[in-house]
Amino acid sequence: MMTVEKMSRVGRIAPMQRPRLEVVSDWAENRDARPVRGNGVLAGDLKHDLIALLPRLRRFARALTRSVPEADDLVQEACLRALSRSDQWDPSQPLDRWMFRITRNLWISEIRKRQVRLGEGQVPAEEATDLVSHATGEASVALTDLGAQIAALPEDLAAILLAVSVEGYSYSEAADLFAIPVGTVMSRIHRARKALAQKIDASEGAAR
């Protein structure tokens, strides 16, 4: 069992530093004159926490959209949506997970709108992301080679990989976030890693 545990941790990326929520709650306690909304969320603190979350939200949005300007639009919309629904946020739940969900849902609905505009009608979310290909173009120029390879992954592979490998989602949590079966998470993670492993191998081969 030890070996299994050990093996499965090998090469795992340490989960990113979470925003310092303990500090945030200190602020909440120290401030008494702030307007209290809904279930007691301090609106000013939510804004502050959202701003602190921006680097990770932008990263997630970039994995979804594969485009820097689109990612920033999406993040802004997601944050405004969250602020307009701050009474729906359960502060006992992590803000990052709530925001990733809002961001992902907004992106899916944006894609569906574009499909309708293009006259292609409604498509299942599963297939929808595949039809948006911003993988090439100026947005990816600044990325490293591997960054471009990640952006070029089809469907929502990059975002699923980010959620599981970096943000610490379990397969069942990722299945919930992306509204796909656990088995699909498993196969997409594997496809993503395998594709990237092959690219790395190929580029190392070329360098030799």
Binders of another protein in range 96-115 (CB under 8 A): 110
Stretch that binds another protein, among 96-104, 125-133, 182-190 (CB under 8 A): 182-190
70, β-bridge pairs: none
The reply to whether 135 sits near another protein by the rule CB under 8 A is: no
Q: Are 19 and 26 in contact (CB under 8 A)?
A: no
CB of 92 to another protein, least distance (A): 20
Task: Look up tokens 């990640």; give the residue.
Answer: 150
Q: How many CB atoms are closer than 10 A to CB 42? A: 19
Give whole-number Cα distances, 10 to 6, 56, 165, 187, in Å: 6, 24, 12, 20
Comparison of 135 and 143: residue with beta carbon closer to another protein: 143
d(Cα 197, Cα 16) in Å, to the nearest integer? 22
122 binds another protein (CB under 8 A): no
Determine the Cα–Cα distance for residues 160 and 167; give it in Å rounded to an integer. 10
Nearer to another protein, 17 or 93 (CB): 17
Q: 159 is written with which tokens? A: 């975002």
Structural tokens at position 165: 């490998």
**CA distances to 101, 153, 184 from 163, in Å:** 11, 15, 14
106, amino acid identity: L
**Shortest spacing between CB 38 and another protein, in angstroms:** 9
Nearer to another protein, 125 or 169 (CB): 169
Please, what is the minimum distance in Å from the beta carbon of residue 189 to another protein?
A: 5
Q: Which of 64, 66, 79, 155 binds another protein (CB under 8 A)?
A: 79
- Binding flag, residue 116, another protein (CB under 8 A): no
Judged by DSSP in three states, 41 sits in: strand
Site for another protein in 149-168 (CB under 8 A): 150, 161-162, 164-166
Take residue 30 and report the two structure tokens written for it. 């120290």
State the nearest-atom distance from the C-beta of 17 to another protein, in Å: 5
Subset of 10-69 contacting another protein (CB under 8 A): 10-13, 16-17, 19-20, 23, 27, 30-31, 37, 43-45, 47-48, 50-52, 54-56, 58-59, 62-63, 68-69
